[in-house]
Amino acid sequence: MPASELWQGVSEHLRAQLGIQEYETWIAPLGLRREGSQAVILAPNRFFIDWIREHYLSHIALALHRVTGQQMDVSFEVTDGGFDESSVMAAVETLESTPPTLLNPLYTFANFVVGTCNELAHAACQAVSQQPGKHYNPLFLFGGAGLGKTHLVTAVGNYILLHHKNKRVHYCTSEAFTNELIQAVRFDGMNRFQEKYRQMDCLIMEDVQFLAGRERTQEEFFHTFNTLYETGRQIIITSDKAPRDISGLEQRLCTRFESGLLCDLQPPDEETKVAILQRKSREKGLELSRQVAFFLARQPETNVRVLEGYLTRILAVSRFQGVEVTLDLARRVVGPLVGERRVGVEEVLKAVSSRYGLKVSDLKSGRKTRDVTHPRQVAMYLARRLTRSSFPEIGRALGGKDHSTVVKGVKKIEEMLGKEPNLAEDVRDLERELLGGGYMPGAGLRTGGM
370 C-beta neighbours (distance < 10 Å), count: 8
The nearer residue to Mg ion, 276 or 398, going by C-beta atoms, is: 276
**Beta strands 38-43; 31-35: pairing state:** antiparallel
> Taking Cα atoms as reference points, which of 178, 159, 157 lies closest to residue 224?
178
End-to-end CA distance of the chain: 40
Number of residues located near Mg ion, criterion CB under 5 A:
2
In angstroms and rounded to an integer, the radius of gyration of the C-alpha atoms of the chain is 24
Q: To the nearest whole angstrom, how small is the minimum distance from the Cβ of residue 100 to Mg ion? A: 8
The only residue of 44, 148, 243, 336 in contact with ligand ADP, by rule CB under 6 A:
148
User: Looking at 141-149, 194-202, 342-350, 410-418, which segment touches ligand ADP (CB under 6 A)?
Assistant: 141-149
3-state secondary structure 289-350: CHHHHHHHHCCCCCCHHHHHHHHHHHHHHHHHHCCCCCHHHHHHHHHHHHHHHHCCHHHHHH
Q: How far is CA 227 from the centre of its chain?
A: 33
The only residue of 149, 273, 376, 446 in contact with ligand ADP, by rule CB under 6 A:
149
CB 378 within 8 A of CB 398: no
For residues 52-111, which are near ligand ADP according to CB under 6 A? 107
The nearer residue to ligand ADP, 14 or 172, going by C-beta atoms, is: 172
The nearer residue to ligand ADP, 304 or 348, going by C-beta atoms, is: 304
3-state secondary structure of 265: coil
Q: How far is CA 343 from the centre of its chain?
A: 22
Site string for ligand ADP, 278-307 (x = CB under 6 A): --------------------------xx--
Q: To the nearest whole angstrom, how small is the minimum distance from the Cβ of residue 208 to ligand ADP? A: 12
The only residue of 1, 28, 123, 145 in contact with ligand ADP, by rule CB under 6 A:
145
Residue 151: name its binding partner from ligand ADP, Mg ion, none (Cβ under 5 to 8 Å by kind): ligand ADP
Number of residues located near ligand ADP, criterion CB under 6 A:
15
For residues 139-198, which are near Mg ion according to CB under 5 A? 149-150
The nearer residue to Mg ion, 301 or 340, going by C-beta atoms, is: 301
For residues 115-134, which are near ligand ADP according to CB under 6 A? 118
Residues in the chain: 450
Q: Does 45 bind ligand ADP (CB under 6 A)?
A: no
Sequential DSSP letters for 61-110:
HHHHHHHHSS--EEEEEE------HHHHHHHHHHHHTSPPSS--TT--ST
Q: What are the residue ranges of helices labelled H in 106-189?
A: 119-130, 149-163, 174-186
Closest residue to bound ligand ADP by CB: 148
For residues 369-408, which are near ligand ADP according to CB under 6 A? none
Residue 413: name its binding partner from Mg ion, ligand ADP, none (Cβ under 5 to 8 Å by kind): none
The nearer residue to ligand ADP, 310 or 356, going by C-beta atoms, is: 310
Distance CA 311, CA 279 (A): 11
The only residue of 13, 59, 151, 446 in contact with ligand ADP, by rule CB under 6 A:
151
Is residue 86 packed enough to be buried (19+ CB in 10 Å), middle (13-18) or exposed (0-12)? Answer: buried
Residues that bind ligand ADP (CB under 6 A): 107, 112-113, 118, 145-151, 276, 304-305, 308
Residues that bind Mg ion (CB under 5 A): 149-150
